[in-house]
Structure 1
Amino acid sequence: MKSRNKGFFYFTIIALLSNDLKAANWSDTSAGVRWGSIFREPYNPHKISKTILNFTHVSQDDYGRNFLLMDYYISDMDDPSKDNATGAEEFYGLYRRTLSYNALAKEPINNNLIKDIHLSSRMDVGYENTHLSPRPFKVRLGGVVDLKIPKGHLEWGLEGVYQKSYNGITNRHFEFEPTLVTWTSWSYPITKKSQINGILEYMGAIGEDGFGNETKPLTILRANYIYDIGQPKGFKVGVGYEQFNNKYSSNNAIDPTKGSDQKAFVLLGSYHF
């Protein structure tokens, strides 16, 4: 990962954790790992084993919410690095900040359907040490609606997306066409010790990729079953399912390996501070 990206995310972690100590109404910070053996990559015929190290921070203050996620992917040799000496390594991180209508308005929302409405801004960065060497950078702006359900949390978002990247094979930076993304995320307790959570996201096509191929709409589904084996701020374990259609907006219909679609089960564990 580029040193400037490292610096940005380390600074963000420090800022968020400092904010927790001073003004957060609630927060949850965790470090964890996911593992699966049937991941796919576009134009790669193999099923790939990946270990994903993860850091996540969620908090709410008097004005809205913070969400920080950093994933570090380590692939086996079926997804080789640029020098073919090891499996590929990838970093992907994102930060979302929302501003709450209820926090800023004189009269909070009060009905049977909506709990709150947020303005949302998000930034993503990434890097992978493969021959393609992608360096995605994304900015998303829009809104999020918190929906009322009997228990747990359910939200729906709609955002505009601008993104650019780098193609290490053609050695050029390029921009994608702006598009819209809509998504919903949920967390629902089953028992005092267990819950299900996940996210479903749909993003429109983004024009041509770094090789001049037309992209296709992208769909992402992640769903997890989590069990608490300790105190609420302790160890959690679980199983998950991850599905990508047209991964990275690559057109699976013209991918001879069909690696642009992924259906993978994962084992996961985390420690919550």
Structure 2
Amino acid sequence: MLTWVARPGLLLLACLAQGFVGAASAGEGDVAPPRDRAVSAIPVVPPPSLFSFSDTIISYRFQGPSAEPGIGIERADGRREPREVPKNVINLLHANAWDYGTNLLSLDILRSGSQDPAGDKFGNFEGVGATEAYLIYRGVLSPNKIFDTTIFSIPGVVKDIGLSFGADINTKDTKFDSEKRAGTFGLNFAFDVPAGYLNLKVQGYKEFSRNGFAVGRFRSVEFLMTPEFELTYALPLTFTGLPLSLAGFNTIILPKGRYGTTNQNETQMEFVSQTNLVLDVGALVSGTPNRFEVFAGFQYWHNKFGADPRRTINTEEKALIAGVSYHLR
């Protein structure tokens, strides 16, 4: 653990205490202490923890039918229709809280069915589904905690207003050859809810992308800075009498400029929502809460990646979700 970073002075005290105990033992040599004399030792102070909270979760989920912009089926009459794509997803998520804020890191490894073929810039690998890696980081700094104040809050409504920042990175092995780099910066509003959490981020969003629509040697597109809104939540459903909770997110990204072979297509407002019903199986069966969970839910994605449905096929996703998760601690 990186526990020594926060307060090295306390670590030094712990090391000195251990040294004193060791020196006392060595100085006594072979002389055994009398049996009727109490032997006292300086207690060893454990090193301080950098994080007040830390959790790492690995999960698997199946979601489908997913949509991939541009992926369609050519019918006999010449019409192109959206092609549904099942996906298997492994996720690794780490969240922590420290003295001045929070951090969240999430990595999705998504494996598509053969309906979304893998490939490279020379063509598709028929019969082989594409693999995508999508990494998200979100951090929040709390001025209330940094300056030991309550100015940045609204009593009874918002318990903390923090500075939010983050990044999105993705890559996918298809002929389209997508590679996304995006950054976010803004404000995080932590609402005062009785249990669980409800957070709203109001941010600026800037994206750089490489894709099959762009021209030039590097096929790169720089999008405009645009507003972005993220609502995340996890709310226990205590009225059910079961260890159930409702967890999910909603994200809105406003139009961010043009895309296309010559950047002639305007992006549209993008909206993605995922809602899961989570059952804590460990708490229900063995009395070990926050260890093993199962979940089921629904994901809706409108104008996926900002694509215009009038210009690009298969931009709306309505996918069912089912999965399991395990907390590694």
Do the structures match in fold with TM over 0.5?
Answer: yes
Change (3 A) 1:110 1:207: closer
Residue in structure 2 matching 1:207, options 257, 260, 269: 257
Which residues in structure 2 correspond to 1:173-252 (within 5 Å)? 173-191=220-238, 193-211=243-261, 212=263, 213-230=265-282, 231-252=288-309
Give the length in aligned residue pairs: 256
Contact 2:280 2:290 in 1 (8 A): no
- Whether the 8 Å CA contact 2:201–2:229 is kept in 1: the answer is yes
> What's the offset of the Cα at 1:205?
0.5
3-state SS in 2 of match to 1:136: strand
Matches within 5 A, 1:14-33: 22-33=49-60
* Structure whose CA Rg is larger: 2
- SS of equivalent residue, structure 1 residue 103: helix
Q: Could you tell which deviates more after superposition, 261-270 or 185-194?
A: 185-194
Secondary structure at 2:258 match in 1: coil
* Corresponding residue SS for 1:81: strand
Work out which structure has the larger RCO, using CA pairs closer than 8 Å and 6 or more positions apart in sequence. Answer: 1
Q: Deviation of residue 240 (structure 1)?
A: 1.3
1:83-98 mapped onto 2 (5 Å cutoff): 83-85=124-126, 86-98=128-140
The answer for the alignment partner of 2:206 in structure 1 is 162
- Are the structure 2 counterparts of residues 185 and 100 from structure 1 closer, same or farther at C-alpha, using a change threshold of 3 Å? same
Where structure 1 has 5 or more consecutive residues not aligned to the other structure, the ranges are: 1-13
Q: How does 1:1-273 map to 2 (within 5 A)?
A: 22-44=49-71, 45-82=82-119, 83-85=124-126, 86-108=128-150, 109=153, 111-168=155-212, 170=215, 171-191=218-238, 193-211=243-261, 212=263, 213-230=265-282, 231-255=288-312, 257=313, 259-273=314-328
Q: TM-score normalised to the size of structure 1?
A: 0.88
Percent identity between the two aligned chains: 27
Q: How many Å separate the matches in 2 of 1:37 and 1:120?
A: 32
Q: How far apart in 2 are the matches of 1:103 and 1:251?
A: 43
- Cα distance, 1:110 vs. partner? 6.3
State the alpha-carbon separation in 1 of the partners of residues 197 and 105 from structure 2.
18
Instruction: For 2:201, give the aligned amino acid.
Output: G
Q: CA deviation at 1:173?
A: 1.5
Task: Tell me if structure 2 keeps the 8 A contact 1:181–1:202.
Answer: yes
Supply the AA of the counterpart residue of 1:214: E
